[in-house]
Amino acid sequence: MISAPSRLPPSNGNSKLRNFSNKNGDSWFNIMNDKRKTMHRIVKFLVGAVLVIAPQTSNAQWNAEALKLAQVMEKVSRFYVDTIDESAVVERTIVQMLHELDPHSSYLSKEEMEALNEELEGEFEGIGVSFNILEDTIYIVRAISGGPSETVGITAGDRIVKIEGETVAGTGITTRDVQRLLKGAKGTKVNVSVKRRNKMELLEFGITRDKIPVFSLDASYMVNDRIGYLKLARFSHTTIDEFERAVKALKSQGMEDLIVDLSGNGGGWLPVAVDLADHLLSGDKEIVSTEGARVPNRIYKARKSGLFEDGNLVIMIDGGSASASEIVSGAVQDWDRGVIVGRRSFGKGLVQQPFMLSDGSLIRLTVARYYTPTGRLIQKPYEEGYEEYAMDLINRYNQGELSHADSIVFPPSQQYRTLTLNRTVYGGGGIMPDYFVPIDTSIYSDYYRSLISLGIFNQFVLQYVDMHRGELLKSYPDFETFSKRYEPSKSEMDQLISFATGEELEFRQEDWNTSKSQITMLFKSYVARDLWGMDQFFEVYNHSDEVFNKAVEILKNPSMLHQKLAKVED
């Protein structure tokens, strides 16, 4: 998401029915009187909203339509056949109204606001997912990096249909209900059943709750004696401090070139994206501009001396890189500052501004579009509706885009020229990388996916490290020794297979042969994580990431870097 700084905006009953009572003994008059009091507040709010809007716009039609909506709600309250929950009706109306505008305008209740603040400001204990209620189903937007859900294999697009065996899909579940069911004390376990697209059967996950990290920097380390690596999970209020500390630490270790990994980074705050890009761009270069019909147009420029304005730079992106990630990578690409590597980013070029409502809830309303320095609009089309918009990443996979760059076609109208070297770049739906790296699906099998999704793999590693921590640290007293010398043994893999069989996961030799190298690499990564931390996890895991390997290859071979950053003559 992109968030701009917040601003604070501002009957008669039917006498013939008064003797009617419901089964609780409440008279029709009292029921209707309570409804009218609530609806009066709703009507007052809507009329007040019109009065607030009126001085800012001369659109009489809009004012009339707002009054029309208030009238409809008042009639529903007075005459509808059944008792209704006015608060729920109002919230659903607001949600649907915003839903019709664009995919990113949204309503957040007071409780959802608190949850959002937890993610961007503090920490909480739970399973670690961002979710929406979509079509009366819990739809996973993102598994928080490093959290329990990501660890067991919950992915974006999953739909939770059962919690502890009880169906939660199609039951009118609310965000508050979801938080109540999924949050809990560290160490407690919750079982969920997930529907994944293109899978007929439900996937079962056992998730052990934990403290959910809200730090935006997942990892930082030296790849070799000159290349540094940073992985950012989000753009929050702590990002710049974390980035500055990490860059200074890497420089103290001799860093000259830098990889910034924005894979899976769904964004965050606009000012934070601008500040981070400012650390990478020299002078007063434009970083991003925003344009909206009813807010002032703005141009954000570099304004200070950054920590990494020199030195070779590579940025990693993929289909989960969105919003603020696209602002940074778009500015770097447009100014030919570095090379973008990976797969086409998500394509979110809309800016949301939060408006607080009187009850502590909030709407995040799209108020502007953002444009990269060359004038590219990164927002992908959403005219076909929300469901088609949400299916875009699935469609990319089905159309072969993740495997073949040639399957991505940009019309001539979406071709732009970079500002320093006159290279061709593209708009109209995400950032297209300079170096495309196809996704490798050859190492995955059903057995491997089940090991991860059922939590068996993580559970076994946790138990294994707990039982052998002393001897592991005796044999490998530091991570450097571990990284160079440790390789999972046949005995350890046999124990994993035996443990999985005990958890009723049938062993498949063919699947094991397909995924063995990935399983052993991941085992080593998890052991490193449990012994030392997330930096060490990524230092092991990244060896299997082809996008990372391409980034390192580019920085080790300056000719590859300069090939992509070559001046184009007309």
| pTM above threshold 0.85 | no
* Residues listed for the chain: 570
Per-residue pLDDT at 197: 67
Per-residue pLDDT at 1: 42
Are β-strands 217-222 and 286-291 bridged in parallel, bridged antiparallel, or unpaired? unpaired
Per-residue pLDDT at 517: 94
Per-residue pLDDT at 118: 60
Domain pair 123-212 / 217-349+375-439, same fold: no
The phi, psi pair for 365, rounded to 5°, reads -105, 130
Which residues sit opposite 163 in a β-bridge? 166, 192
Residue 252 tokens read as 């103290």
Residue 350, helix vs strand vs coil = strand
Per-residue pLDDT at 448: 94
CATH C-level class of 123-212: mainly beta
Per-residue pLDDT at 183: 85
Residue 24 tokens read as 């609780």
What is the per-residue pLDDT across 383-437, written as a single tens digit (0 to 9) for each? 777 777 777 777 777 777 777 777 777 888 899 999 999 999 999 889 999 999 9
Number of helices and strands (H, E) in the chain? 19, 23
What does the pLDDT profile of the chain (570 residues) look like in tens digits? 444 333 222 233 333 333 333 333 333 333 334 444 444 444 444 434 443 444 444 467 767 878 888 888 888 888 989 888 888 888 888 888 888 888 888 888 877 776 666 655 545 778 988 787 766 788 786 787 778 998 898 977 788 999 999 999 888 888 878 888 998 888 999 999 999 866 788 999 999 998 776 778 999 999 999 999 999 999 988 899 999 999 999 999 999 999 999 999 999 889 999 999 999 999 999 999 999 998 999 999 999 999 999 999 999 999 999 999 999 999 999 999 999 999 999 999 999 988 888 888 888 899 999 999 999 999 988 877 777 777 777 777 777 777 777 777 788 889 999 999 999 999 988 999 999 999 888 888 999 999 998 878 887 887 788 789 889 999 999 999 999 999 999 999 999 999 999 989 999 999 999 999 999 999 999 999 888 888 999 999 999 999 999 999 999 998 888 888 876 655
Topology annotation, domain 217-349+375-439: 2-enoyl-CoA Hydratase; Chain A, domain 1 (3.90.226)
How far apart (Å, rounded) are the C-alpha atoms in residues 339 and 333?
Answer: 7
Per-residue pLDDT at 9: 27
Taking alpha carbons only, the member of 549, 545, 567, 547 closest to residue 557 is 549
What angle, 0 to 180 degrees and rounded to 10, lies between the N-to-C axes of helices 239-252 and 270-278? 20
* Per-domain boundaries in the chain: 2-17+28-107, 123-212, 217-349+375-439, 446-548
